[in-house]
């Protein structure tokens, strides 16, 4: 059953863990009815139960963001349940192969990483934007990375995908600015998530040591930035790539 027209609705991909999960929880805590969208059903159901236990309104929707029909069905399911769509965080992403120079990156890795990280973001916007237009506008935040702002050696596919996210964000922001839809990107630095937990610990320690702030960020710190970008307080902010990185890209 559709919710009251006054209740805002958020759609979060990558919601089963890390930044996506923290952002979904933040939306729900702020009073949004929140669609938790992810490929990992077991972890997604855990996140759903956790948010509901805390008093949030949410629902898990299984989705492969690299598949257009899957994304279409996920957006339709959320709108059917909650009646509208006001905000979206397109946070689903993978890092792919590590340690290979650009010429050694496999075609399979290139296609998979670009398929999830870049095509997935575009597919989400492709179906989110028409629903937002029905209600006079909304706010979308796409998850890029500091690797979308500068080079990332031995991560050519990841770096290309995250640069691409910023490009499509800026294009959409210009296109829909006068129709009430704001589109921004958030660019996390080294954040303590399952993705970074899989890195070589010596490498991780060295990266933290190089960081001006001297520590990893927390998923909740990215979630706070996303919530601000979706809030009325950011009503004049669109087409931006906001680095939340402990001054990493300021060096």
Residue with tokens 């059903």: 41
Residue with tokens 């990893």: 216
SS3 at position 23: helix
Give catalytic status of residue 176 as yes or no: no
Within 8 A by CB and 6+ apart from 14, the residues are 20, 21, 37, 38, 90, 91, 92, 93, 143
Looking only at the bridges linking them, the beta strands covering 138-143 and 181-188 are parallel
CB neighbour class for 63 (10 Å; exposed up to 12, middle 13-18, buried from 19): buried
Supply 220's token pair.
């909740």
CB environment 1-20: b (16+ within 10 A), e (fewer): eeeeeeebbbbbbbbbbbbb
Catalytic-labelled residue, pool 32, 82, 158, 176 = 158
Contact in structure between 105 and 29 (CB atoms under 8 Å): no
Return d(Cα 105, Cα 107) in angstroms, integer: 7
> Which residues are tagged catalytic?
158
């Amino acid at each position: 059953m559709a919710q009251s027209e006054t209740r805002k609705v958020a759609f979060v991909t990558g919601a089963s863990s890390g930044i996506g999960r923290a952002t979904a929880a933040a939306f729900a805590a702020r009073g949004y009815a929140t669609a938790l969208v992810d490929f990992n059903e077991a972890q997604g159901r855990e996140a759903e139960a956790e948010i509901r236990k805390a008093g949030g309104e949410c629902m898990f929707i299984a989705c492969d963001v690299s598949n257009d029909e899957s994304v279409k069905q996920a957006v339709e399911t959320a709108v059917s349940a909650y009646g509208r769509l006001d905000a979206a965080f397109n946070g689903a992403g993978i890092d792919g192969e590590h340690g290979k120079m650009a010429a050694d990156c496999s075609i399979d890795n290139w296609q998979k990483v670009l398929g999830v990280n870049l095509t997935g973001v575009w597919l989400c916007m492709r179906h989110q934007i028409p629903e937002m237009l029905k209600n006079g506008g909304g706010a979308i935040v796409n998850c890029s990375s500091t690797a979308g702002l500068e080079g990332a050696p031995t991560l050519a596919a990841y770096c290309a995908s995250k640069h691409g996210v910023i490009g499509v964000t800026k294009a959409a922001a210009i296109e829909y600015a006068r129709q009430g839809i704001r589109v921004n990107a958030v660019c996390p630095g080294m954040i303590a998530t399952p993705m970074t937990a899989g890195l070589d610990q010596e490498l991780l320690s060295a990266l933290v040591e190089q960081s001006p702030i001297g520590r990893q960020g927390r998923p909740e710190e990215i979630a706070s930035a996303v919530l601000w970008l979706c809030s009325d307080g950011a009503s004049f902010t669109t087409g931006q790539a906001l680095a939340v990185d402990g001054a990493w890209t300021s060096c």
